[in-house]
A and B are shown apart, each in its own frame.
Chain A
Amino acid sequence: MAKFLARRAFTTCIVVILVSIISFSIVNVLPGDLAAAILGEEGGADSQRYEELRASLGLDQPLYIQYLNWLTDALRGDFGISMRTQEDIGPAIVSRAVPTIQLAIFAMALSILVSVPVGVISAVRQRTMVDTGGTLFAILGVATPGFWLGIMLMLVFAVWLRWLPPSGFVPFWENPVEALRLMIMPGIALASGLTGVLIRQVRASVIEVLGEEYIVAARSKGLTERVVLYKHAFRNAIFPVVTLIGLQVGQTFGGAATVEVVFSIPGLGRLAVDSIFFRDFTMIQAVMMFLALTVLLTSLLADIVYARLDPRVRYA
C-alpha cells in the first residue's frame, strides 16, 4: 500500500511538472509577447519603452529561464498580475474557483444519485425493456450537449414558466435555498454527460460481479436476492465507479466552461473563456495550470479512496 502510494505520488509529481511546461508553452506560442500586449497598439511603436518593459518582465531572458522564474513564483503562490484586470492572479483564481467547485460537486452528486439506481436496475433486469430504456437514457445523456440542455431548461423553466431564476450565483453557505434554485438548471446541464457515462459503468460492473462465483455461493447458501445484491454484489461493483468518477472530474470542469457562460456564473470556466477573448496571457496560464492540478489531485485521491475501500489493492 505504502509502496503503491509512494510510486503514485512520484509519477504525479512528474506529471505536474509536464503540466506546467504545457501551460507555460501554450501561452508562449501565442503571437506577440506580453510587453507588446501591455503597451497596446500605440505604445508598441515606442521601441525604448518596449525594451525596458521586456527587461523588467524578464522577457529578454531565454525561454527556459522565463519558465523557471514563472514556476518558482507559482510554487510560492505568486502567479503574477492579470494583464486585463490588474488583480493578483492567485486570489482571483481562488475566488472564481468557489462557484465552479460548488457547481461541480452539485452536478456530480446529482449524477451519482441518478446513475447508481438506474445502472443497478438495468443490470439486474438485463435484456428487458427496463434495461433498454436505461441504456437509451445513458446514450442520450452522453450525446446531449450539456450547455444546450441548459439553454432549453432556461427557455422552459425561466423564460416561459418563470419558476426558476434564469441565471446568477449565490454561495451555498450564504443562502442555501436560493443557491439550490440557481444551481438546478446548470447542475442538470453539467450532470447529463457524466450521468450517461456512470450509468453504463455501474451497469457493466454490476453485471460482471453478478457472474462471480462468490455470488453463486451467496445465493446457494440461501441468502435473499436483496442481501446478495446489496451486501455482496453492489459493494464490489462500486470500485470501478469510484475510479471513473475521479477520471471524470476533468470533463466536468471542461463542461463548466460553456455552462457557466450560459448561466452567467462567475466561475473558472468563464474566467478561462474571458481571458482567452481578452488575450490575458498570464491568467490563461494560471487557470489551465490550476485546473489540471485539480484534476491530477482528484485522480490521486480517487486511487487512495479505492485502495482504502478495496483490501485487494491495499495488501497487493
Chain B
Amino acid sequence: MDRLMLGPRFSAFREFVSTPRSAVAVGIIVVIVCAALFADVIAPMDPNAQDYTVVLQPPSLDHLLGTDHLGRDLLSRLIHGSQVALLVGVASVGLAAVLGSFLGLLSGYASGLVDEAMMRVMDALFAFPSVLLALGITAALGPGTFTIVIAIAVADMPVFARLTRGQVLTVRERDFVTAARALGAKPKRLIFRHIWPHVTTPVMVMASLHVGFAILTEAALSFLGLGVQPPTSSWGGVLRTGFAFLETAPWLSAFSGAAILIAVFGLNLLADALRDYTDPRG
C-alpha cells in the first residue's frame, strides 16, 4: 500500500514502534487484545468444560499448560481470562479518568473554596489503600465484574483529579488563555477548547499506566474470592485455585501469575514509552 495514503498518524505510529521498548510493549498488548477478542476461536477447548479423566494434569501436548482440579484446560481458561482483565482494566480506568479529569478541571479552574473542598475529598479517598477501598466497595455492592469496575474507578479517581488539576493550574496562567479570556471566551469554552487539550496527553500516559494497576487490583480481588465470580475465568481466580493446589499442581499458580505479570509489564512499558515520546524533555 502506498505509504503516503496512510497519512501522518501512521508514520507517527511507525516512529513510535521503532524503538525496541515500544515494539515489545505494542507486541504484548496486541497479543492480549487478540486473545481477548478472538478467545472463542483461539482457545483450544471450552474454558468451562470439565473432564474428570484429566484432573490436575501437568502440561502436555494435549493440554499445553496442564489442567485444573476439574479437568479444565488451563490455556483456554487463561485466554478467556484476558477478556476479564482487559474489560475491567480499560473500563475502570476509563471511568476513573473521565470522572477524575472532569473534577480536576473544575477544581483547577474554579479555585478557592470549591477547589479546596473537592481536593480534600480526593485526599480522603486517596488515604485508603486502593485494594482495601475496592474491597470495601465490593463488600457494599456485592461481588461481580460490574462492581469491581466501579470499585477500582472510585479508588483510582483521585490520581486523575490531582493530575488534571495540576495541569490546569499551570496552563490557566499561560498567555494564550489570558488572550482567549480577553477576547471574551466564556469559562466553558476556555476550559474545553483552550485548557483541556493540554491535559489530555498526561492523562493518557497516566491511564495506560493505571490500566496495568487496575489489572493487578482485579487479580488481587479475584484471588481473595471477592472479585470476578466463578465459573467466569479470570487470572486472579485461576491463581486462587492454583494456590489451593500449590503442591500438587504448581503450574496453575505459575502460569496464571505469569499471565498477569506479562500483561501489566506490557502496559507499564507502553506508558513509559508514551511518556518519553510525548515529553522529550523527560
Binding site for B on A (CB under 8 A): 11, 14-15, 18-19, 21-23, 26-27, 29-31, 139-140, 142-145, 147-149, 151-152, 154-155, 159, 250-255, 257-258, 261-262, 269, 272-273, 276-277, 279, 284, 288, 291-293, 295-296, 299
Contact = CB atoms under 8 A, between A and B. Distances in A.
6 contacts: A140-B261, A143-B264, A148-B253, A151-B257, A250-B130, A296-B127
A15 B118 CA distance: 11
Interface residues of B, number: 46
Given A151-B246, A151-B253, A273 B261 contact: no
A26 B264 contact: no
B137 interface: yes
A288 B124 contact: no
A242 to B, nearest CB: 18
A217 to B, nearest CB: 23
A14 B119 CA distance: 11
B128 A250 contact: yes
A273 B250 CA distance: 25
Contact of A276 (B126, B223, B226, B239): B226
Given A18-B121, A148-B260, A155-B246, A291 B128 contact: yes
B121 A254 contact: no
Contacts of A14: 120
B257 A152 contact: yes
Contacts of B100: none
A22 B135 CA distance: 13
A140 B239 CA distance: 19
B132 A257 contact: yes
B147 to A, nearest CB: 12
B124 to A, nearest CB: 4
Given A258-B223, A276-B139, A276-B226, A145 B132 contact: no
Interface string B245-282: 01100100110010011001101110010000000000
B168 interface: no
A274 B197 CA distance: 45
Nearest to B155: A254
A277 B138 CA distance: 11
Contacts of B121: 18
A290 to B, nearest CB: 11
B260 A139 contact: no
Interface stretch (B7-15, B36-44, B199-207, B212-220): B212-220
B124 A19 contact: yes
Contacts of A269: 132
A30 B129 contact: no
A264 B254 CA distance: 20
Interface in B101-143: 120-121, 123-133, 135-142
Nearest to B243: A151
B137 to A, nearest CB: 7
Contacts of B260: 145, 148
Interface centre among B135, B247, B254, B269 (most CB of A within 10 A): B135
A149 to B, nearest CB: 8
Contacts of B124: 15, 18-19, 21-22, 292
B216 A145 contact: yes
Given A14-B120, A151-B239, A276-B135, A143 B212 contact: yes
Interface in B169-228: 212, 216, 219-220, 223-226
Given A15-B120, A139-B265, A151-B257, A254 B130 contact: yes
B129 A253 contact: yes
A309 to B, nearest CB: 23
Contact of A30 (B125, B140, B257, B264): B140
Nearest to A26: B136
Given A261-B224, A272-B135, A159 B247 contact: yes
A19 B257 contact: no
B258 to A, nearest CB: 8
A140 B131 CA distance: 20
A194 to B, nearest CB: 13
Contacts of B131: 254-255, 257-258
